[in-house]
Amino acid sequence: MNKTLLAALATSLLATSAAQAQDVRSERNLSLALANQIAAAGVASCQEAGYAVTVTVVDRAGSVRALQRADNAGPHTLDASRAKAYTSASAKNTTLAMMESAQKNPGAANLVNIPGFLLLGGGVPVKVGDEVIGGVGIGGAPGGHLDEKCALAALETVKDALK
């Protein structure tokens, strides 16, 4: 082969490799250890306030990574905490903010009809900077605002790991 043909072939291969590399994404996600830490901290935070809750932590795709149910937490709290975590991770927002928006804004009212979404307070996105890498959902306190308070307290305990 002549040098011109070899150079053209090499250039073509390099361009193809660069294009393929752009098609592959790297994403941060929750480890099992971190998900378990968040779940345990959420249960502990609510227990300190006298609430028996369930805490579910999901990854960025909404799949369950960790789930802890406190003694005496109602059976309904399992599904509620999972749906709140999923909703928060998917929408990249707190479920309390979404609930308030749906109540005040007719254009957002249909959010309640999205399969798997639960617009009650207690779901909070797990973030590294501005990137959502998961969600935590808590159910069982006597009010979604209290579930959210426990979720925020849980995330505060792992803030150094989320830098």
> What CATH number corresponds to the domain at position 110?
3.30.450.150
In a domain, 80, yes or no: yes
In a domain, 24, yes or no: no
Domain ranges, residue 93? 32-162
CB 59 within 8 A of CB 133: yes
**Burial degree of 5 (CB within 10 A; 0-12, 13-18, 19+):** exposed
Provide the number of structural domains found in the chain. 1
Query: d(Cα 160, Cα 64) in Å, to the nearest integer?
Result: 22
14 falls within a domain: no
pLDDT in tens, 22-81: 889 889 999 999 999 999 999 999 999 999 999 999 999 999 999 999 999 999 999 999
CA–CA separation, 69 and 58 (whole Å): 15
Half-sphere exposure (Cβ direction) of 124: Cα atoms closer than 13 Å? 23
Q: Confirm whether pTM is higher than 0.75.
A: yes
4 lies in some domain? no
| Residue 92 falls inside a structural domain | yes
Share of the chain above pLDDT 90, in %: 84
Within-domain flag for 62:
yes
- Is the pLDDT score of 11 beyond 90? no
